[in-house]
């Protein structure tokens, strides 16, 4: 293994896909599910499965890596700008954030490809405030409850993919859930309360996540112009273990079986159509959450077009558009929630050898909305990925 | 086969960096904030409790004699004011030996043959703290006995340990009267009392002990607070007869003596005065609470009281009316401090103020017309510390507290509060904030 490969693996392990908050829907249920896809898949409205190409390192399509004949690496960054509104109110709340939802690497091993993924699974960060009036020594006084939850669930997975026939590939990854969540509530009192001598009250807890998941997938090239793929992810329960200084208890949450299918085909030379869909039933997770949390099956699908023969500055620069609708398992008000985006983007080859792209960046830009009950988030989301091959 | 490889990385890298800048643009995070509190955990409950004296306090004691009268930067004269007599003693430095004077030719020369033609003492009064609204007579007299400004009191001119020397007669001994002067607060806040020529000569040439004066208030039923006293002398120069020189002679000692001295209170609490009083008490905090119902409804009872639950803690004292003679005329600043070595009381060192910098200001009228006013002295951090138990060094916080007026001494007057066993005994006011343990959803 070359020094560059070792360095990339080190980067993967060190970064471990830190997640930053990007939606108020993080507050719903167990958090907002993340999808670890790259800029190309985002631009195509894809769930990251069934896409052609030699650089498949997306965790949703573990079999695709079998076609990666040389070492490869992928890193994804994702900035988001959100405008939150609520029915019946003209108030706007703006926030933004960046995350690194995916770091991936593949390396030839035993006539196949060994994979390493660090991915975001659930985003849980949010904060809120609640003004209250309390009795301080017989005097009504203003106080503010400030709540903040910081945390996320990630996975670190190892996998292997291999061509079992010239057109069919199988892949499997096994991963471990990791991450922490910290919840803190601080009640602070107005300066005028108790002659300014009232001390803030704080209550907090921290939990560490543990659990395992297994993803298996298959993909096949059909007729030389079509690719079909399917994958499934099964998990053990996601255990949240309270730290020693936390008064709250441990929790365990069922994680749903996630099923995905995807296909793509050349409609004409240089014109690719892709489609993908996924489904997961979160009702068991909702039962574990209790407290009236409702959730059911979340279905997602997306379609997109890619013009792959375009060139810019003398280099391959495919252009993509897509549409995608994602069912969100949890809502802030018990009703169904979904996310819908229109997307576009392009790729740019940084280094080509014999028309094989060895280094490229892909940018996907989504204009979307997330709706659940009376809450609505309009957002712009960028997904930028850097892919390296043959290092 | 010929490999066709793209050329250099410069331009592509520029494109990549430009795209990367888009990602960096949102790197300054702002966490999503909900427009309402629907996703927040159960609200904590904040309730106020009041512990009776028997539930937290014991061994209340009042100690006196902290500081000296002469440490005050003010003085007092009183004549039968609520049964109190007070007189001010002053001692002055030597007269100037010479001065730089321009002679008839205009050149500057030192004149050591000054002729002192006049002298007077200027008293600057506190018109608010003084009780008279019209003119009252003040008398300036020359003391005839040596006195020690640090220990002099009504009965003794020197009162060191084991070496008390009484005045020839209580109240500053006999004096040679110098002059009298009326002071009318409606005309100004200063009074000038002139020295006669014989006294001027005697003070100019005599020993230090001769330049000593006593101020008496002749008008009965009043008390005057003196903010400052200085001796001014007027001299003529031998170099230029037309030149009159005015000098201020420094005051080397100033104190006041009064009678009767306040006796230790039979009950209740006292702080302040000169010398100052302190009130000391032991504190024992309950570690579990069985009420009130609002608390038990939230967290169940008995409730284990922890430091994190204490939002506020304060000693609640009810003010007590003080004899008019000792009633404060200005804001009294009261502090609570930990007694660091109870075994050495009353000389135990004290910790820093438990209520933060500055103490608690208390208006003077609560010790008069507004008797019974609740004065709350914050000790929140102290209570949290006691409930936390021993620190990392294994030492527990002191369980004895001292209540005092600061700076000490600051004024002749003092503050008083109802003590245990009386109506309105001390209480410990607590504000507690509690919530169920933080859970994950």
DSSP state string for B158-186: EEETTEEEE-SSTTT--EEEEEEEEE-TT
Whether the complex's predicted ipTM surpasses the cut of 0.90: no
Please check whether residues B409 and B395 belong to one and the same domain.
yes
Q: Would you call B12 an interface residue with chain A, using a CB distance cutoff of 8 Å?
A: yes
User: B19 CB near a chain A CB, below 8 Å?
Assistant: yes
Q: Domain ends where: B239, B259, B279? A: B259
> Best interface-test mutation with A: which of B36, B354, B441 has the largest number of A CBs within 10 A?
B441
CA distance A358 to chain B (A): 10
Which candidate, A258, A329, A326, A257, places its Cα nearest to that of A293?
Answer: A329
Residue B211 lies in a domain: yes
Quote the CA–CA distance of A97 and A20 in Å, as a whole number: 6
Nearest-CA distance from A284 to chain B in Å?
15
Spell out where B237-349 has E strands: 244-249, 251-259, 269-272, 276-283, 288-289, 303-304, 310-318, 332-339
User: Distance (Å) from the C-alpha of residue B227 to the closest C-alpha of chain A?
Assistant: 32
Q: Do A199 and B380 touch (CB under 8 A)?
A: yes
B363 inside 8 A of chain A by CB: no
The pLDDT tens digits for B238-296 are 887 778 899 999 999 999 999 998 888 888 899 999 899 999 999 999 989 887 887 78
pLDDT of A5 above 70: no
Q: Provide, rounded to the nearest whole percent, the portion of chain A with pLDDT above 90.
A: 62
Beta bridge partners of B428: B51, B315
- pLDDT attached to residue A291: 75
- The CA distance from B58 to the nearest CA of chain A, in Å, is 23
**Residue A87 carries which DSSP code?**
T
A129 interfacial to chain B (CB closer than 8 Å)? yes
Q: What is the mean pLDDT of residues B380-409?
A: 92
Instruction: Flag the least confident range among A362-376, B23-37, B354-368, B379-393.
Output: B23-37
How many beta-carbon pairs below 8 A join chains A and B?
233
> Residue A359 is part of a domain; what is its CATH number?
2.40.160.60
Option in B37, B310, B355 nearest A128 (CB): B37
Query: Which pLDDT does position B104 carry in this prediction?
Result: 75
In a domain, B320, yes or no: yes
Contact B434, B48 (CB under 8 A): no
| Residue B25 forms part of a structural domain | no
Which of B355, B437, B441 lies nearest to residue A291, judging by beta carbons?
Answer: B441
Q: Verify that B173 and B138 share a domain, yes or no.
A: yes
Tell me what pLDDT residue B233 has. Answer: 94
Residue A120: its H or E element: strand A112-123
Name the residue among A21, A205, A361 with its Cβ closest to that of B19. Answer: A361
What is the model's pLDDT at position A257?
A: 96
Q: Is B41 on the interface with A (CB under 8 A)?
A: yes
The total of structural domains in chain B comes to: 2
Q: Is B438 on the interface with A (CB under 8 A)?
A: yes
CA distance B411 to B256: 12
Contact between A147 and B41 using a beta-carbon 8 Å cutoff: yes
Task: Print the domain residue range for B135.
Answer: 84-259
- Do B246 and B388 fall within a single domain? no
Token couple for B288: 């579990």
Locate all alpha helices (DSSP H) within A16-115, ordered by sequence: 39-43
pTM of this prediction exceeds 0.90:
no
Please tell me the distance from the alpha carbon of residue B101 to that of residue B106, in angstroms, as a whole number.
9
Nearest-CA distance from B252 to chain A in Å? Answer: 42
| Interchain proximity B355–A197, CB inside 8 Å | yes
Taking the CA of residue A204 and the nearest CA in chain B, the distance in Å comes to: 6
pLDDT-wise least confident of A358-367, B264-273, B331-340, B374-383: B264-273
Residue B330 has pLDDT above 70, yes or no: yes
Q: Contact, A136 vs B48, CB < 8 A?
A: yes
From chain A residues 35-74, the ones with a CB under 8 A of any chain B CB are: none
Interval B132-156 mean pLDDT: 94
In DSSP notation, A173-204 reads EEEEEE-EEEEEEEEEE-TTGGGGTPPPEEEE
Output the average pLDDT for chain A: 88
Do residue B311 and residue B229 come from a single domain? no
Whether B275 and B419 map to the same domain: the answer is yes
Residue A289 pLDDT? 85
* Residues of chain A contacting residue B363, judged by C-beta atoms under 8 Å apart: none
Buried b (16+ CB within 10 A) or exposed e, B269-306: bbbbbbbbbbbbbbbebeeebeeeeebeebbeeebebe
Nearest chain B CA: its distance from A59 CA (Å): 22
Q: Hey, what long-range contacts does B297-303 have (CB within 8 A, 24 or more apart)?
A: B298/B45, B298/B434, B298/B435, B298/B436, B299/B434, B299/B435, B299/B436, B303/B434
State mean pLDDT over A283-291: 86
CATH code where residue B364 lies: 2.60.120
At B84, list the tokens. 């109190």
Is B9 in the A-facing interface, judged by CB distances under 8 Å?
Answer: yes
Residues in chain A closer than 8 A to B23 (CB atoms):
77-79, 98, 382, 384
The string of pLDDT tens digits covering residues A31-51 is: 899 999 999 999 999 999 999
Per-residue pLDDT reduced to its tens digit, B149-207: 999 999 999 998 878 999 999 999 999 999 999 999 999 999 999 999 999 999 988 88
CA distances A362 to A249, A320, A385, B396, B436, Å, are 44, 10, 5, 63, 48
Q: Are B203 and B89 in contact (CB under 8 A)?
A: no
Asked if the C-beta of B30 comes within 8 angstroms of chain A's C-beta atoms, the answer is: yes
User: Would the pLDDT of A261 be above 60?
Assistant: yes
Which has the higher per-residue pLDDT, B358 or A10?
B358
Nearest-neighbour CA in chain A from B11: distance (Å): 8
Clarify whether residues B283 and B365 are in a common domain.
Answer: yes
pLDDT at residue B320 tops 80: yes
Instruction: Give the DSSP H/E element, type plus range, for residue B295.
Output: helix B293-299
Closest Cβ–Cβ partner in B29, B36, B381 for A97: B29
Residue B364 falls inside a structural domain: yes
Do residues B348 and B291 share a domain? yes
Q: How confident is the model at residue A174 (pLDDT cuts 50, 70, 90)?
A: very high
Q: Which of B43, B380, B438 is opposite residue A248, by nearest beta carbon?
A: B438
Closest alpha carbon within chain A to B47: A135
Q: What is the 3-state secondary structure (H, E, C) of A244-263?
A: CCCCCCCEEECCCCEEEEEE
Interface check A313 vs B, CB under 8 A: yes
At residue A43, the 3 state secondary structure works out as helix
Q: Cβ contacts of residue B285 below 8 Å, gap of 6+?
A: B56, B305, B383, B386, B387, B428
Looking at A313-322, B11-20, B385-394, B423-432, which range is the least confident one? Answer: B11-20
User: Residues of A with CB below 8 A from B310's CB?
Assistant: 199
Give chain B's mean pLDDT. 88
Residue B163, chain A, CB below 8 Å: the answer is no
A136: contact with B, CB 8 A cutoff? yes
Question: Which of B194, B226, B259 is the last residue in one of the domains?
Answer: B259
Q: Which residues of B touch A78 (CB under 8 A)?
A: 23
Residue B22 domain-assigned?
Answer: no
pLDDT of residue A30: 86
**Distance of alpha carbon A274 from alpha carbon A262, whole angstroms:** 8
Contact B378 A194 (CB under 8 A): yes
Co-location of B237 and B315 in the same domain: no
Kindly report the nearest CA distance between residue B427 and chain A, in angstroms: 12
Does B219 score more than 70 pLDDT? yes
Q: Tell me, what's the pLDDT at B10?
A: 57
Q: What is the Cα–Cα distance from A188 to A134, expressed in whole angstroms?
A: 11
Which tokens belong to B252?
Answer: 């080397």
For A81, the domain range is 3-389
Determine the residue of chain B that is closest to A353 in CA distance.
B5
Cβ contact A96–B308 (<8 Å): no
Which residues of chain B does A187 touch, with a Cβ-Cβ cutoff of 8 Å?
44, 46, 311, 433
Residue B329: the pLDDT is 87
In the predicted model, is pLDDT for residue B8 greater than 80? no
Q: Is residue B126 domain-shared with residue B153, that is, in the same domain?
A: yes
Distance CA A22, CA B27 (A): 11
In this prediction, residue A224 carries a pLDDT of 82
For residue B309, the chain A residue with the least C-alpha distance is A201
Boundary-marking domain end, from B196, B228, B259: B259
Nearest to A170 by CA among A280, A40, A274, A67: A67
Residue B304 lies in a domain: yes
For chain B, say whether A198 makes contact (Cβ under 8 Å): yes
In this prediction, residue A12 has a pLDDT band, given cuts at 50, 70 and 90, of: very low
On whether both B195 and B323 belong to a single domain, the answer is no
The C-alpha torsion from B299 through B303 and B306 to B311, rounded to 10°, is 60
Question: Is the predicted pLDDT of residue A14 greater than 50, yes or no?
Answer: no
Q: What is the mean pLDDT of residues A228-245?
A: 95
| Shared domain check, B230 and B368 | no
In this prediction, residue B11 carries a pLDDT of 55
Q: Give the integer Cα–Cα distance in Å for A167 and A7.
A: 32
- Number of domains composing chain A: 1
Query: Are B306 and B386 found together in one domain?
Result: yes
């Amino acid at each position: 293994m070359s020094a560059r490969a070792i360095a990339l693996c080190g980067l993967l392990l060190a970064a471990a896909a830190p997640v930053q908050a990007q939606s108020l829907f993080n507050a719903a249920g167990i958090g907002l599910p993340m999808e670890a896809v790259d800029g190309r898949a985002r631009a195509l409205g894809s769930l990251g499965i069934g896409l052609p190409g030699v650089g498949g390192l997306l965790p949703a399509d573990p079999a695709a890596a079998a076609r990666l004949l040389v070492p490869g690496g992928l890193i994804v960054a994702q900035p988001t700008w959100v405008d939150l509104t609520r029915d019946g109110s003209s108030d706007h709340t703006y926030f933004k954030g960046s995350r690194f939802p995916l770091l991936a690497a593949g390396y030839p091993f035993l006539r196949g490809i060994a994979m390493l993924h660090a991915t975001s699974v659930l985003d849980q960060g949010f904060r809120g405030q609640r003004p209250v009036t309390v009795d301080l020594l017989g005097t009504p006084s203003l106080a503010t409850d400030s709540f903040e939850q910081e945390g996320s669930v990630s996975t670190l997975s190892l996998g292997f993919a291999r061509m079992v026939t010239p057109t069919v590939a199988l892949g499997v990854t096994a991963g471990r859930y990791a991450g922490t969540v910290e919840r803190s509530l601080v009640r602070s009192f107005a300066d005028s309360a108790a002659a300014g001598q009232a001390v803030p009250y704080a209550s907090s807890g921290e939990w560490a996540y543990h659990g395992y998941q297994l993803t298996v997938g298959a993909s096949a090239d059909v007729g030389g112009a079509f690719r079909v793929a399917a994958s499934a992810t099964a998990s053990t329960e996601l255990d949240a273990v309270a730290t020693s200084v936390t008064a709250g208890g441990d929790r365990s949450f069922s994680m749903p079986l996630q099923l995905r299918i995807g296909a793509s085909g050349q409609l004409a030379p240089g014109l690719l159509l892709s489609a993908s869909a996924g489904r997961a039933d979160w009702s068991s997770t909702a039962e574990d959450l209790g407290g009236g949390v409702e959730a059911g099956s979340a279905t997602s699908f997306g379609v997109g077009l890619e013009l792959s023969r375009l060139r810019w500055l003398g280099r391959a620069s495919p252009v993509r558009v897509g549409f995608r609708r994602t069912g969100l398992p949890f809502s802030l008000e018990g009703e169904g929630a979904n996310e819908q985006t229109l997307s576009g983007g392009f790729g740019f080859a940084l280094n080509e050898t014999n028309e094989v792209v060895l280094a490229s960046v892909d940018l996907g830009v989504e204009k979307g909305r997330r709706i659940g009950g009376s809450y609505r988030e309009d957002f712009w989301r960028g997904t930028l990925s850097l892919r390296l091959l043959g290092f | 086969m010929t490999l066709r490889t793209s050329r250099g990385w410069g331009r592509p890298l520029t494109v990549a960096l430009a795209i990367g800048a888009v990602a960096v643009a949102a790197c300054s995070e702002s966490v999503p904030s909900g427009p309402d509190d629907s996703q927040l955990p159960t609200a904590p409950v904040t309730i106020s409790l009041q512990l009776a004296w028997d539930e937290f306090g014991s061994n209340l004691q009042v100690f006196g004699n902290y500081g000296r009268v002469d440490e005050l930067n003010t003085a007092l004269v009183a004549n039968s004011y609520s049964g109190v007599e007070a007189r001010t003693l002053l001692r002055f430095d030597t007269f100037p030996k010479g001065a730089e004077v321009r002679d008839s030719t205009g050149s500057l020369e030192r004149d050591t043959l000054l002729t002192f033609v006049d002298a007077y003492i200027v008293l600057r009064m506190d018109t608010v703290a003084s009780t008279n609204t019209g003119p009252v007579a003040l008398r300036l007299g020359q003391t005839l006995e040596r006195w020690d400004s640090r220990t002099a009191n009504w009965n003794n001119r020197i009162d060191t340990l084991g070496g008390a020397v009484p005045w020839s007669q209580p109240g500053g001994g006999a004096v040679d009267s110098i002059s009298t002067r009326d002071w009318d607060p409606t005309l100004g806040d200063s009074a000038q009392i002139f020295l006669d020529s014989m006294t001027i000569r005697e003070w100019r040439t005599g020993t230090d002990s001769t330049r000593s004066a006593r101020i008496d208030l002749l008008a009965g039923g009043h008390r005057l607070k003196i903010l400052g006293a200085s001796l001014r002398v007027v001299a003529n120069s031998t170099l230029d007869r037309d030149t009159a020189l005015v000098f201020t002679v420094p005051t080397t000692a100033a104190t006041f003596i009064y009678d009767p001295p306040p006796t230790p209170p039979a009950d209740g609490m006292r702080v302040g005065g000169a010398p100052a009083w302190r009130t000391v008490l032991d504190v024992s905090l309950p570690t579990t609470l069985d009420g009130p119902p609002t608390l038990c409804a939230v967290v169940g009872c008995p409730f284990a009281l922890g430091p994190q639950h204490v939002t506020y803690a304060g000693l609640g004292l009810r003010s007590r009316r003080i004899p008019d003679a000792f009633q404060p005329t200005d804001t009294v600043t009261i502090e609570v401090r930990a007694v660091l070595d109870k075994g050495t009381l009353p000389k135990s060192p004290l910790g820093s103020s438990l209520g933060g910098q500055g103490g608690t200001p208390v208006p003077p009228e609560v010790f008069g017309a507004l008797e019974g006013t609740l004065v709350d002295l914050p000790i929140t951090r102290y209570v949290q510390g006691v409930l936390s138990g021993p620190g990392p060094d294994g030492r527990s916080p002191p369980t004895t507290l001292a209540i005092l007026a600061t700076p000490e001494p600051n004024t002749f007057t003092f503050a008083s509060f109802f003590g245990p066993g009386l109506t309105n005994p001390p209480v410990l006011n607590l504000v507690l904030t509690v919530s169920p343990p933080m859970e994950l959803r």
